[in-house]
Amino acid sequence: MADKPVVLMPEDIQRIMGKDAQRNNILAARMVAEMVKTTLGPKGMDKMLVSPTNEIVITNDGATILEEMQIEHPAAKMMVDIAKTQDSEVGDGTTSVVMIAGKLLENAERLLDKKIHPTIIAKGYKIAAEKCQEILNEIALRISPDDDLILKQVAMTAMTGKSAEGSKEKFAEIVVKAVKQIYHDKKVDLNDIKIEKSKGEGIADTELISGIVLDKEKVSNDMPTVVNSAKIVLIDFPLELKNPEIDTKISISTPEQLQGFLNQEERTIKEMIMKVKETNANVVFCQKGIDDFAQYLLSKAGIYACRRVARSDMEKLAKATGGKIVSNLSELSSSELGNAELVEEIKHGNDSFTYIRGCRNPKALTILIHGGTGHIIDEIERALRDSLGVVSSSLKTGLVVPGGGAIEMELARRLRIFGQSLSGREQLAVEEFASALEFIPSTLAENAGLDPIDVLTELKSKHDSGDKNAGLNLFNNKIENVLEARIIEPYKIKTQAISSATEVANMILRIDDVIASSGKKSGMKGMPQMSEFD
Ligand code: ADP
Ligand code: MG
């Protein structure tokens, strides 16, 4: 019994332990940060990502890049996750969060080399992160919901350097107006804002519509193009004849039988449309199909109809118009109808859209993005979503901070002073944390072709002499008061980024054993080779 080998795990398991595991994970995380670094800031570059099916995405958005890259390494995946969290929590700052986490880990390596235990480093980082939150609470600027000018500047800062930049004034106006319209009781539900896209006109034609816009045309040319005082039916069952080829088999031996069958089907459709007419509706949005005969009957009744409306749009329509989505003909009655002042079809380029304006719910909004190509429209959409995120976050917290690296410099300075009150090893960790934050201003400088060391030195001396809003203004490449230069970001970008970056860095630091079962080879496949260490 005693000489029997103890088998814990199957033989084909892959395992990396101790220092190797740690360094391997750190390297992978650093590689992720290194990868997105060049896109940071207004002078950052874009990346072109080509999928296995040759679809192309051109973007400068950290979360999108990482998502498209299909990263496999487990530690690197954790970095991708914090970018996603940043995106869902704030909507912006995805590149920054990954960069800070990568730098925290890189700096941790220096401490590991000095034989400082990972748990001490993690503790120091945690203390530093908490101190940052405290400092942020102290120095953030309070704004009121009526500070439209500041909100617009926050919106514009998020768009600087993206394809949206050319029209950022206009976009900022749209974004602020939209968010303020749905802001209530310190709450904002960005799902109330529908984003629709139209290829053809220029991005400057992008518009905010109070109401819902569907990328659908009316099903028949004989229907009215404009309906005033719309009474709207929302149905999610088809208005069509049953397709005999698919659904059923019928055997017909005489022309009369065929006619009889068709008459029967026609009667069913007629009854359906009669039911719709009885409700006094003049608009029908149908989630499924509407066949020729039903179209004919609807047109004859002067009813405007769209078919194959997406489920998500049906839900938005219900919320906007106060109507109910009816799944069963027998439930259809006038009490289920929605209302809007106007439903009309409008053509943009080759495509027709249905506008539903003057909805019962004033929070129903649509931003219709116009643009020359799909790639541009998609990148504008990402910039707009960032911008919607930062404005709503600024409204919710009522707090903003200076951008251009100013806040990071000030946090670093105060952290270093604070660190002096700590014991030796923790102090070192807090110092490394501070220098990780400086990675943001130094990269902003580097990406703009400036000397990062010169920039950091000048920033440091300004902050030391009490200029807490000194940052790098990349509109004129000067180091100056960035609040005056109107480079402003939401407080939440920074609090979220610091807490997620610290969490992931500490989590990766604490791992000293990676065990990958062979069934999940991919888990190890993405691991960098040890030879990649420098
Ligand atoms: P992220 O994905 O982290 O939001 P961005 O590429 O959007 O990355 O860059 C954000 C950084 O760019 C922030 O640190 C912000 O303060 C900075 N920034 C934005 N506009 C300017 C500007 N005009 N001058 C200097 N820095 C700016
Ligand atoms: Mg950004």
**Annotated catalytic residue: which of 87, 92, 378, 386?**
386
Q: For the chain, give the percent of residues with pLDDT over 90.
A: 69
User: Which tens digits make up the pLDDT trace of 223-277?
Assistant: 999 999 999 999 999 998 765 555 666 677 888 887 787 788 888 899 999 999 9
- Give the pLDDT mean for 331-356: 93
Query: CB of 211 within 8 A of CB of 358?
Result: yes
Residue 522: pLDDT band by 50, 70, 90 thresholds?
Answer: very low
Candidates 46, 139, 187; CA nearest to 411 is 139
Q: What does the block give as tokens for 191?
A: 């799902």
Instruction: With H, G, I as helix, E, B as strand and everything else as coil, classify residue 465.
Output: coil
Q: Determine which of 418-432, 478-492, 511-525 has the lowest per-residue pLDDT on average.
A: 511-525
Q: Determine which of 198-202, 241-245, 446-450 has the lowest per-residue pLDDT on average.
A: 241-245
C-alpha distances in Å from residue 106, one per residue of 95, 102, 119, 422, 500: 16, 6, 16, 22, 16
pLDDT recorded at residue 357:
95
| Ligand 1 atom with least separation from CA of 99 | 3
pLDDT recorded at residue 105:
96
| Ligand 1 atom with least separation from CA of 97 | 3
pLDDT recorded at residue 533:
37
Domain 144-210+366-397 has CATH 2.40.50.100: no
pLDDT recorded at residue 400:
97
The ranges assigned to domains in the chain are: 13-142+425-517, 144-210+366-397, 215-361
Measured in Å, residue 209 CA sits from the centre of ligand 1 at 29
Q: Which residues lie near ion ligand 2 (Cβ < 5 Å)?
A: 92
pLDDT surpasses 90 at 532: no
Catalytic residue flag (residue 236) = no
Catalytic residue flag (residue 292) = no
Handedness of CA 329, 331, 332, 333 (dihedral sign): positive
pLDDT recorded at residue 267:
87
- For residue 82, the ligand closest to its alpha carbon is 1
Measured in Å, residue 489 CA sits from the centre of ligand 1 at 9
**Ligand 1 cavity residues, CB under 6 Å:** 39-42, 44, 60, 62, 92-96, 157, 160-161, 403-404, 440, 444, 472-475, 487, 489
Domain 215-361: give its CATH architecture: 3-Layer(bba) Sandwich (3.50)
- Its pTM stands at 0.85
Catalytic residue flag (residue 386) = yes
- For residue 96, the ligand closest to its alpha carbon is 1
Distance separating alpha carbons of residues 362 and 181, to the nearest angstrom: 8
Give the chain's mean pLDDT. 90
β-pairing, 304-306 with 283-286? parallel
Measured in Å, residue 126 CA sits from the centre of ligand 1 at 25
Q: Which of 36, 37, 40, 407 to mutate to test the pocket of ligand 1 (most atoms within 8 A of CB)?
A: 40
Query: CB of 76 within 8 A of CB of 32?
Result: yes
Q: For the chain, give the percent of residues with pLDDT over 70.
A: 95
User: Which tens digits make up the pLDDT trace of 8-24?
Assistant: 777 777 888 888 888 89
CA dihedral 326, 328, 330, 336 (to 10 degrees): 0
Neighbour count for residue 275 (Cβ, 10 Å): 16
Higher pLDDT, 525 or 292: 292
Task: Identify the CATH number of the domain defined by range 13-142+425-517.
Answer: 1.10.560.10
Q: Which of 98, 157, 382, 440 to mutate to test the pocket of ligand 1 (most atoms within 8 A of CB)?
A: 157
Residue nearest to atom 7 of ligand 1 (CA): 41
Measured in Å, residue 317 CA sits from the centre of ligand 2 at 31
- Give the pLDDT mean for 369-388: 92
C-alpha distances in Å from residue 460, one per residue of 100, 402, 414, 454, 494: 19, 15, 11, 10, 19
- Give the pLDDT mean for 427-436: 97
Measured in Å, residue 32 CA sits from the centre of ligand 1 at 19
Catalytic residue flag (residue 354) = no
pLDDT recorded at residue 63:
87
User: Which tens digits make up the pLDDT trace of 69-110?
Assistant: 888 888 899 999 999 999 999 999 999 999 999 999 999 999
Measured in Å, residue 91 CA sits from the centre of ligand 2 at 8
Higher pLDDT, 532 or 194: 194
Distance separating alpha carbons of residues 358 and 364, to the nearest angstrom: 9
pLDDT recorded at residue 59:
87
Distance separating alpha carbons of residues 169 and 432, to the nearest angstrom: 39
pLDDT recorded at residue 247:
60
Residue 521: pLDDT band by 50, 70, 90 thresholds?
Answer: very low
Q: Determine which of 79-83, 199-203, 482-486 has the lowest per-residue pLDDT on average.
A: 199-203
Q: Which of 103, 474, 480 to mutate to test the pocket of ligand 1 (most atoms within 8 A of CB)?
A: 474
